[in-house]
Amino acid sequence: MKKLSKIVIVLVLGILVLTGCTKSSATKFKKEYESLNGKTASSGKTIREISIPDDNPMVYQTAEGIVSRMENGETFAVYFGFASCPWCRSMIEQLIQSAKDNNISTIYYVDVYKIRDKYELDESGKLTRTEEGTDGYNELLNLLDDVLDDYVLTTKSGEKVETNEKRIYAPNVVAVVNGVATEMIEGTSSSLEDPYSELTDDMKKESYESFKCLWNCLSKESTMCSKNSC
């Protein structure tokens, strides 16, 4: 009986620690994103005001942590973005609401702002890598290769320049099923051209609906989900 009691105590403590960490992460995410409400972006435009629920499902994770979970064959959703990203702020409320409505209790969050590599085009259009991606980011590129978009830059004249690499853009929301990247959704409305502009009800609805495929992929009952099935 004593041994059983100790096991029960350990399990209860583990649950309390996990719950506390989740709440702490949700609070941190809310503060981080809402702290920029109404401020001025580097572009001179006003940053979109958003409201993040106290009980949001966001759990902070490193690139290395996502790599480890994938190598362990886990099933989960991961959101790649950063707080000042105007496109992210155009879909984050819909992502969270859609997740809550579909009983998704956890979405891992990786801030990609400082971990990605970066290319720039000089006046002549020559491509130059100005920042190196972290080891964790490069590992993610390999594991997510099938669902990521190509990294393409555009010259002032409108010419497309290929880097011959993939890119984790912001926002990217990825469904990982049994360790395999199955689907990626950007989540912004296809009719949104200026991420600082007002969102219409139709834009919000389109964004909200776009995540349903991801949740189906994560469902244990789903046997129809395959790469790029949305």
Residue that wins the pLDDT comparison between 10 and 118: 118
Does the predicted model carry a pTM greater than 0.75? yes
Answer yes or no: is pLDDT of 230 > 50: yes
Answer yes or no: is pLDDT of 10 > 60: no
pLDDT per residue over 104-124, tens digit each?
999 999 999 999 999 998 877
For residue 192, what pLDDT is reported? 98
Q: Confidence band (pLDDT; 50, 70, 90) for 227? A: low
Task: Indicate the CATH number for domain 2-115+168-218.
Answer: 3.40.30.10
**Residues 142-147: contacts with CB under 8 Å, at least 24 apart:** 143/67, 143/70, 143/181, 144/168, 144/174, 144/181, 144/184, 145/181, 146/181, 146/227, 146/228, 147/174, 147/181, 147/182, 147/183, 147/184, 147/227, 147/228
